[in-house]
Amino acid sequence: MEIFDKKMWLPNYTEFIIFLIVVLIAFIVLLSFKYYDKIKQLEIHDYELFLFRMKRLGFSKLQIKIVNEMIGTLRLTNQLRFIKEPALFESILEKYYNTYIKTKLEKNAQVAISSDIITIYDKLFFTAEYKKPLNNLSEIEINRMLYFATENKDIFFGKIIGRTSKDLTIKLFRNEDELKDLVKYKTIDAFFIRSGDAEYSFSTEVIDLLKNIISLKIPDNFKIEKEFRHPYVDTIIPCSIESIESNPEIEPIPINGTIFKINENEVIIRITDKLNYKKKYNIYFELMDYKFSVNLLVIANRTIEDKNIYYYTFKFEDMSEASKNVIKKFIAEHL
């Protein structure tokens, strides 16, 4: 083509097709980079959410490391699936034990990390709210994870799948060939953890073993290794306290104070009046638009002499379920 006596280049059909292909490839590459960047951003967001949930549940750095190792062994790209699906956790226990615990740790360290593993399971799949302490082992929950240590400190992880007043039925997460020798032990030491309550241990006998299902005798006694103290949340909440009088004709005198700290079971109150340890009290306060009226029992006190200020620690008594739920929600949002 000629314009003003000058020839203008026009691509032929083949050149035009090549040009389109180059543009299309560049466009596809650009879209690929955009897609890859979007995927990476989603992965980063999911991992940050995963870490947030782990920390919110009170996981230690070691426990987070254990979870990451398990996820890596499973080759999961979505970490959130692992903390939502108990079956994934259970499926990796045998391999994790053989790969990390048995081959890389000494016997004493194996026991310590086993305690962390059942703690992780408990925090992930059982609510970490306050639990009433067990009166006997027949009250233990179905699906609770525990571990056994034999006389030579071999570790076995298991999950309770059945119970009666006399025995526990437990599914073990080990190869059946490795379980055959369990029946030869006269006693097995078992350990489990209930978040919001305590660490428990007991010694027992093997009743029966069928493949990877073991039956254990429920012993008469068990041991509480460690009780968990609930964390306090700092607050400045006005309150009023009245003594509970045995004589209905006596009019109680309200004492105004400030709730200084609170947890699910206890409250620390700052007042300027000295209280009688022998008496029970009732507290009135408002939290999250909910009005509380709860009985209290004095369990400790601290005094600042020069300012005549008393800090009393009270235990909540006979609290309604509605009141408990409000306090649990408040603590969860402020920890």
Q: Rg of the chain's alpha carbons, rounded to an integer?
A: 31
Residue 88 has pLDDT above 70, yes or no: yes
Q: Is the pLDDT of residue 285 over 80?
A: yes
Mean pLDDT of 260-282: 89
Q: What is the mean pLDDT of residues 240-261?
A: 89
> CB 241: neighbour CB atoms within 10 A?
22
Identify the residue with better confidence: 300 or 90: 90
Q: What fold, for 233-334?
A: Thrombin, subunit H (2.40.10)
Q: Cα–Cα distance between 40 and 144 in angstroms, integer? A: 36
Instruction: Give the Cα separation of 50 and 68 in Å (integer).
Output: 10
Q: What is the 3-state secondary structure (H, E, C) of 163-232?
A: ECCCEEEEEECCCHHHHHHHHHCCCEEEEEEECCCEEEEEEECEEEEECCEEEEECCCCCEEEEECCCCC
Give the model's confidence band at 306: pLDDT under 50 very low, under 70 low, under 90 confident, else very high.
low
pLDDT at 18: 84
Residue 137's contacts (CB-CB under 8 Å, 6 or more residues apart) are 168, 202, 218, 219, 222
Comparison of pLDDT for 221 and 331, the residue scoring more: 221
User: Is residue 94 classed as helix, strand or coil in its secondary structure?
Assistant: helix
Using the structure block, give the residue that is written with the tokens 């490391």.
65
- CATH 2.40.10.220 in the chain, residue ranges: 72-227, 233-334
How far is C-alpha 26 from the chain's CA centre? 49
Average pLDDT, stretch 87-101? 91
- pLDDT tens figures, 48-79: 778 787 877 778 889 999 999 999 899 888 88
Vertex 128: Cα angle to 161 and 198 (nearest 5): 75
Question: Which one is predicted more confidently, 197 or 11?
Answer: 197
132 contacts: CB under 8 Å, gap ≥ 6: 197
CA angle 326, 332, 335 (to 5 degrees): 130
Per-residue pLDDT for 11 more than 80?
A: no
pLDDT tens profile 193-212: 988 788 999 999 888 888 89
Please give the DSSP secondary-structure letter assigned to residue 155: E
Q: How confident is the model at residue 305 (pLDDT cuts 50, 70, 90)?
A: low
Cα dist from 142 to 96, 146, 209, 276, whole Å = 23, 11, 19, 44
List pLDDT tens digits, range 204-242: 988 888 889 999 999 989 998 887 766 788 899 999 999
Compute φ and ψ for 188, nearest 5 degrees. Answer: -130, 135
- Which letter, b or e, does each residue of 168-195 get, where b requires 16 or more Cβ atoms within 10 Å of its Cβ? bbbbbbbeeeebeebeeeeebbbbbbbb
Q: Indicate the pLDDT class of residue 91, thresholds 50, 70 and 90.
A: very high
Give me the percent of the chain exceeding a pLDDT of 70.
92
pLDDT of amino acid 2: 47
pLDDT number for residue 214: 92
The domain 72-227 is classified under which CATH number: 2.40.10.220, 3.40.50.300, 3.40.50.1370, 2.40.30.110?
A: 2.40.10.220
* CB of 283 closer than 8 Å to CB of 240: yes
pLDDT value at 35 more than 50: yes
Chain centroid offset of residue 193 CA: 11
| Average pLDDT of the chain to the nearest whole number | 85
Residue 118 has pLDDT above 90, yes or no: yes
- Reply yes or no on whether the pLDDT at 130 is more than 90: no
Which residues does 12 contact at the CB level (< 8 Å), separation at least 6? none
- Residues 159-170: what's their mean pLDDT? 93
pLDDT of residue 172: 94
* Residue among 215, 219, 199 at smallest CA distance from 207: 215
**End-to-end CA gap in the chain:** 77
Q: Is 215 exposed, middle or buried (0-12, 13-18, 19+ CB in 10 A)?
A: middle
Three-state secondary structure readout of 36-84: HHHHHHHHHHHHHHHHHHHHHCCCCHHHHHHHHHHHHHHCCCCHHHHCC
How far is CA 284 from its chain centroid? 31
Contacts for 123 with CB less than 8 Å, ≥ 6 apart: 57, 58, 59, 195
